[in-house]
């Protein structure tokens, strides 16, 4: 990424000029708008840059933010509208405003759309009504008559005030009993803030005694923190090597250095938040502020408001936490930096790791990336000296890496209608006989990825889409994983009407589980995938696995990350070739990351682990690298091939996707784009080409791919190109800078 020069701007807009004329400010709204609009401030009212305001916009009054830049004095004041209200919420910090503008420029989305991500917890701007809470009152005089219910309430009252409902529930009585006690003065009524501040992290609590490797790594990062120096550091170490302990030291150092500093830890997976939050809470004696999509709206509002007022000092969140209204962000940790979940594909398209690095670079604070399988982008940045790296070589406390071997499926295939080869079955048998756990990994949800009519060859697809319907046998439904469409599995083929001819092709986790249940009827078997309903059910399975109550877990990548199962010593990968097809430039890299994470679940404690990978491609370099553990050699070979092709990180890519319901109009639009491509050195444009999934939700999709040399301003080229091409209202043009998906 090439950060543009940062520009200084005045933090305070003047209120009124001496003549008493109202002064002007620019206001950006959280709407898909590229620019801020001029407004008048009411006489005598001041609003610094970054202040949240309410202003008339069209027929409504809308929240917006006073933006930097001078308002246009040439427009007569009579034409401008006046701001209605300046909100009490602390103004956005200068570095966040800078980051919003930079992100808009980089991703080519409107600044208003980026601001929308910051303001998405819109109710955070209005202080919620205070609630009544109850604590013990002074001893009543004369003493009151006590009943068992009243005793129960008095026993349940604590130091912290509780609302009626909570107190009544804790005492097992009705709300009337609580209110009655308050009326006679036995309970005192106090106001409570529905968004209580987060407890400050206790920085005097010691962490673990670090190993020499860990100490060295922590010291490197601490140096950047204490010098207020922007530097990006990769902590590179196998799973279980103690990376988290190292970066928690960095968090403590950043928080200790400045009493107002805020720190953000980004993690990729919501399923991981709960155990991770617990770990951080234990380390600092205080719960960090959480941020992810499964929070209730009240919990979101609390985090948003407490981040905005600067009192939430440590935030743990998913990628969108990057857009919280931090007052004084001083450190970002990106855990599992290689993870694909950091790429946001809807709305504003961005990669949270890259934006985190850019944000640190612009605001001048350190960023830490942690991974056992760093992305090639990051590895090249380290090799070329842009990032620092610290390595943790071994698993903490001497646990060893699993032994990995391939099963050649051409030589030793599974039986007909089966997916588990004899060596894999033998391995699970052995596990069962010694009472140790197995994980069978297949990165495919449902029962079968394809449903085909045996009579006419018809493939079941989602309506108005070219996406395959996946059979989910437990629910007896066919489901599209791209659009969310689902239908009961029909008896007859919709194309030829043949009855009972629809056949499942290939395995998903449900089908492997069916085979496992037949083979091992006495074993406890569970399935885990993103179809497992609800965070609670997922947690229950993970806990049962952790406690050794499951013999065989059959799972998709939901299980790959972060989990620690002490008694899991064997991982069987049902289809190691799955991610290798499809022509995605990162296919091999992703396969390496995923399979090394999955196999890394085995043998995390004293007992050594092993893994078997079923494959038809025994010669694939990525599988050879997994077996030999030669990650760096594999990455070097990947790097060479990317460099030869001019692909990222040695070149830049951007995708332009046109989509719309009318194919003829879309084709014409694509041709108009083709004709408008300006000549440019070092840039190639491929396309227009139908997207691999051509029809999705009733819209056809056509793609262009722009490939540029690394030093070229690809955004400028795309602006010059697409700026002049008019598109009809029914057609949408989406720009994806640094695309990760090519479907």
Longest dimension (CA), the chain: 93
Of 316 and 737, CB closest to ligand ADP: 316
Of 53 and 248, CB closest to ligand ADP: 248
Minimum CB distance to ligand ADP, residue 314 (Å): 17
From the list 739, 710, 742, the residue with the least C-alpha distance to 380 is 710
Angle subtended at Cα 325 by Cα 324 and Cα 330, rounded to the nearest 5 degrees: 90
Regarding 438 and contact with ligand ADP (CB under 6 A), the answer is no
Minimum CB distance to ligand ADP, residue 442 (Å): 24
Q: How far is CA 204 from each of CA 201, 212, 458, 707, rounded to the nearest angstrom?
A: 9, 21, 66, 51
Of 195 and 245, CB closest to ligand ADP: 245
Q: Taking contact as CB under 6 A, which single stretch among the options 207-215, 590-598, 621-629, 654-662 is the one that binds ligand ADP?
A: 207-215
Q: What share of the chain is helix, strand, coil (3-state, %, to 5)?
A: 30, 25, 45
Minimum CB distance to ligand ADP, residue 552 (Å): 24
Alpha-carbon distance of 110 to 92, in angstroms, equals: 18
Regarding 240 and contact with ligand ADP (CB under 6 A), the answer is yes
Q: Is the dihedral of CA 678, 684, 689, 693 positive or negative?
A: negative
* CA 683 distance to own-chain centroid: 31
Q: Taking contact as CB under 6 A, which single stretch among the options 21-29, 232-240, 404-412, 429-437 is the one that binds ligand ADP?
A: 232-240
Total number of residues that touch ligand ADP (CB under 6 A): 14
Minimum CB distance to ligand ADP, residue 448 (Å): 35
Of 209 and 522, CB closest to ligand ADP: 209
Minimum CB distance to ligand ADP, residue 391 (Å): 11
Regarding 284 and contact with ligand ADP (CB under 6 A), the answer is no
355: its two tokens = 């934006």
Q: Using the rule CB under 6 A, which residue among 107, 149, 220, 241 binds ligand ADP?
A: 241
Residue 25 pairs with which residues in a beta bridge?
A: 39
Q: Taking contact as CB under 6 A, which single stretch among the options 155-163, 241-249, 692-700, 721-729 is the one that binds ligand ADP?
A: 241-249
Strand ranges inside 486-567, DSSP E: 486-488, 502-505, 525-528, 552-555
Q: Are 606 and 399 in contact (CB under 8 A)?
A: yes
Regarding 214 and contact with ligand ADP (CB under 6 A), the answer is yes
Q: Taking contact as CB under 6 A, which single stretch among the options 58-66, 240-248, 619-627, 694-702 is the one that binds ligand ADP?
A: 240-248
Alpha helices, H only, 651-696 = 663-675
Using CB under 6 A, which residues numbered 245 to 274 contact ligand ADP? Answer: 245
Q: Are 715 and 683 in contact (CB under 8 A)?
A: no
**Residues 683-722: x/- map of binding to ligand ADP (CB under 6 A)?**
----------------------------------------
Q: Taking contact as CB under 6 A, which single stretch among the options 32-40, 202-210, 500-508, 514-522 is the one that binds ligand ADP?
A: 202-210
**Whether residue 142 has a cis bond before it, omega within 30° of 0:** yes
Neighbours of 312 (CB within 10 A): 24
**Residues 346-385: x/- map of binding to ligand ADP (CB under 6 A)?**
----------------------------------------
| Nearest 10 degrees: Cα torsion 725, 731, 737, 743 | -130
Q: Using the rule CB under 6 A, which residue among 45, 94, 210, 277 binds ligand ADP?
A: 210
Of 370 and 380, CB closest to ligand ADP: 370
Q: Taking contact as CB under 6 A, which single stretch among the options 242-250, 478-486, 537-545, 611-619 is the one that binds ligand ADP?
A: 242-250
Q: Using the rule CB under 6 A, which residue among 243, 306, 351, 707 binds ligand ADP?
A: 243
Of 133 and 237, CB closest to ligand ADP: 237
Q: Using the rule CB under 6 A, which residue among 23, 107, 149, 211 binds ligand ADP?
A: 211
- Helix (H) and strand (E) counts in the chain: 19, 31
Minimum CB distance to ligand ADP, residue 353 (Å): 17
Of 214 and 220, CB closest to ligand ADP: 214
Of 238 and 312, CB closest to ligand ADP: 238
Regarding 454 and contact with ligand ADP (CB under 6 A), the answer is no
Q: Using the rule CB under 6 A, which residue among 242, 317, 507, 739 binds ligand ADP?
A: 242
Minimum CB distance to ligand ADP, residue 387 (Å): 18
Minimum CB distance to ligand ADP, residue 211 (Å): 5
Instruction: Return all residues near 501 (Cβ < 8 A) that are at least 6 apart.
Output: 453, 454, 455, 456, 492, 493
Q: Taking contact as CB under 6 A, which single stretch among the options 134-142, 239-247, 260-268, 416-424 is the one that binds ligand ADP?
A: 239-247
Q: Using the rule CB under 6 A, which residue among 239, 421, 451, 596 binds ligand ADP?
A: 239
Of 239 and 344, CB closest to ligand ADP: 239
Q: Is the dihedral of CA 302, 303, 304, 309 positive or negative?
A: positive
Q: Are 369 and 233 in contact (CB under 8 A)?
A: yes
Alpha-carbon distance of 325 to 322, in angstroms, equals: 9
Minimum CB distance to ligand ADP, residue 235 (Å): 8
Q: Are strands 699-709 and 683-696 parallel, antiparallel or unpaired?
A: antiparallel
Of 369 and 513, CB closest to ligand ADP: 369
Instruction: Return all residues near 105 (Cβ < 8 A) that are at least 6 apart.
Output: 4, 715
Minimum CB distance to ligand ADP, residue 399 (Å): 9
Minimum CB distance to ligand ADP, residue 44 (Å): 55
Q: Are strands 85-86 and 187-192 parallel, antiparallel or unpaired?
A: unpaired
Regarding 301 and contact with ligand ADP (CB under 6 A), the answer is no
Q: Taking contact as CB under 6 A, which single stretch among the options 123-131, 235-243, 293-301, 474-482 is the one that binds ligand ADP?
A: 235-243
Token pair 């646990």 in the structure block, residue: 399
Q: Using the rule CB under 6 A, which residue among 50, 237, 366, 688 binds ligand ADP?
A: 237
Regarding 151 and contact with ligand ADP (CB under 6 A), the answer is no
Alpha-carbon distance of 656 to 707, in angstroms, equals: 11
Regarding 615 and contact with ligand ADP (CB under 6 A), the answer is no
SS3 196: coil
Q: Using the rule CB under 6 A, which residue among 276, 396, 570, 717 binds ligand ADP?
A: 396
Sheet containing 437-441: order of strands = 403-408, 610-615, 568-573, 437-441, 552-555, 525-528
Q: How far is CA 503 from each of CA 450, 489, 490, 689, rounded to the nearest angstrom?
A: 8, 11, 11, 32
**Residues 35-64: x/- map of binding to ligand ADP (CB under 6 A)?**
------------------------------
Q: Are 701 and 694 in contact (CB under 8 A)?
A: yes
| Nearest 10 degrees: Cα torsion 220, 225, 227, 233 | 50
474: its two tokens = 């437990």
* CA 297 distance to own-chain centroid: 18
Angle subtended at Cα 505 by Cα 504 and Cα 507, rounded to the nearest 5 degrees: 100
Alpha-carbon distance of 371 to 266, in angstroms, equals: 12
Minimum CB distance to ligand ADP, residue 216 (Å): 12
Q: Using the rule CB under 6 A, which residue among 151, 208, 459, 716 binds ligand ADP?
A: 208
Minimum CB distance to ligand ADP, residue 336 (Å): 9
Of 153 and 598, CB closest to ligand ADP: 598
Alpha-carbon distance of 306 to 327, in angstroms, equals: 10
Minimum CB distance to ligand ADP, residue 606 (Å): 13
Q: CA-based Rg of the chain, rounded to a whole angstrom?
A: 29
From the list 256, 281, 257, the residue with the least C-alpha distance to 265 is 281
Alpha-carbon distance of 356 to 369, in angstroms, equals: 10
Return residues touching ligand ADP (CB under 6 A): 208-211, 214, 237, 239-245, 396
């Amino acid at each position: 990424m090439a950060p543009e020069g940062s520009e200084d701007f005045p933090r305070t807009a003047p209120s009124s000029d001496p003549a008493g004329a109202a002064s002007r400010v620019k206001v950006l709204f959280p709407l898909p708008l590229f620019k801020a609009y001029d407004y008048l401030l009411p006489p005598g009212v001041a609003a610094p840059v970054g202040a949240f305001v309410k202003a008339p916009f069209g027929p409504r009054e809308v929240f917006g933010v006073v933006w930097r830049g001078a308002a246009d004095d040439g427009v007569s004041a009579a034409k401008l509208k006046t701001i209605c209200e300046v909100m009490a919420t602390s103004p956005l910090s200068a570095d966040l405003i800078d980051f919003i503008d930079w992100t808009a420029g980089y991703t080519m989305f409107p600044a208003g759309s980026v601001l929308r991500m910051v303001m998405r917890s819109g109710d955070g701007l209005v202080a919620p009504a205070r609630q009544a809470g109850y604590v013990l009152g002074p001893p009543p005089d004369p003493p009151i008559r006590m009943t068992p219910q009243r005793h129960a309430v008095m026993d349940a009252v604590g130091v912290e005030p509780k609302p009626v409902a909570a107190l009544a529930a804790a005492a097992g009585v009705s709300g009337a009993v609580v209110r009655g006690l308050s009326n006679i003065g036995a309970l005192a009524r106090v106001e409570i803030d529905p968004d209580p501040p987060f407890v400050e992290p206790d920085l005097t609590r010691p962490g673990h005694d670090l190993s020499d490797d860990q100490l060295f790594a922590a010291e490197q990062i601490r140096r950047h923190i204490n010098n207020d120096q922007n530097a990006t550091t990769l902590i590179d170490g196998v799973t279980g090597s103690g990376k988290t302990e190292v970066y928690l030291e960095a968090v403590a150092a950043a928080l200790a250095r400045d009493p107002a500093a805020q720190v953000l830890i980004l993690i990729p997976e919501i399923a991981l938040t709960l155990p991770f939050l617990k770990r951080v809470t234990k380390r600092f004696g205080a719960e960090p502020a959480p941020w992810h999509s499964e929070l209730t709206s009240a919990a979101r509002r609390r985090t948003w408001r407490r981040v905005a007022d600067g009192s939430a000092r440590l935030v743990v969140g998913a990628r969108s936490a990057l857009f919280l209204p931090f007052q004084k962000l001083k450190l970002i940790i990106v855990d599992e930096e290689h993870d694909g979940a950091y790429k946001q594909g809807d709305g504003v398209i961005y990669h949270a790791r890259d934006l985190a690095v850019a944000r640190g670079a612009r605001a001048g604070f350190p960023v830490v990336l942690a991974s056992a399988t760093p992305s090639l982008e990051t590895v090249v940045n380290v090799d070329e000296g842009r990032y620092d790296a610290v390595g943790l070589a071994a698993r903490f406390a001497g646990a060893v890496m699993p032994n990995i071997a391939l099963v050649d499926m051409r030589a030793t295939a599974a039986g007909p209608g089966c997916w588990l080869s004899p060596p894999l079955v033998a391995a699970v048998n052995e596990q069962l006989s010694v009472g140790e756990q197995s994980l069978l990994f297949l990165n495919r949800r449902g029962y079968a990825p394809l449903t085909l009519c045996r009579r006419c060859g018809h493939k079941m697809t989602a309506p108005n889409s070219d996406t395959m319907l996946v059979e989910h046998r437990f629910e007896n439904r066919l489901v599209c994983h791209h659009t969310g469409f689902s239908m009961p599995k029909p008896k007859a083929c919709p194309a030829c009407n043949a009855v009972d001819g629809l056949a499942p092709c290939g395995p998903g986790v449900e089908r492997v589980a069916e085979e496992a249940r037949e083979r091992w009827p006495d074993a406890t078997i569970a399935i885990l995938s993103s179809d497992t309903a609800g965070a609670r059910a997922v947690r229950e399975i993970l806990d049962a696995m952790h406690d050794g109550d499951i013999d065989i877990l059959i799972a998709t990548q939901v299980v790959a990350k972060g989990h620690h199962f002490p008694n899991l010593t064997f991982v069987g990968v049902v289809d190691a070739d799955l991610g290798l097809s499809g022509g995605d430039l990162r296919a091999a890299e992703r396969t390496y990351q995923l399979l090394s994470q999955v196999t890394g679940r085995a043998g995390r404690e004293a007992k050594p682990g092993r893994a078997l990978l079923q494959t038809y491609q025994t010669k694939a370099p990525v599988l050879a690298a997994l077996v030999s553990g030669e990650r760096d050699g594999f990455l070097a070979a990947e790097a060479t091939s990317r460099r030869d092709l001019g692909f990222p990180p040695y070149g830049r890519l951007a995708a332009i996707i046109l989509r719309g319901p009318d194919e003829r109009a879309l084709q014409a639009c694509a041709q108009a784009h083709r004709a408008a491509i300006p000549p440019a050195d070092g840039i190639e444009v491929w396309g227009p080409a139908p997207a691999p999934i051509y029809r999705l939700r009733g819209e056809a999709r056509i793609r262009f791919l722009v490939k540029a040399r690394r030093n070229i301003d690809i955004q400028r080229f795309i602006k010059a190109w697409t700026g002049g091409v008019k598109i009809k209202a029914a057609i949408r043009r989406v720009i994806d800078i640094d695309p990760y998906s090519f479907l």
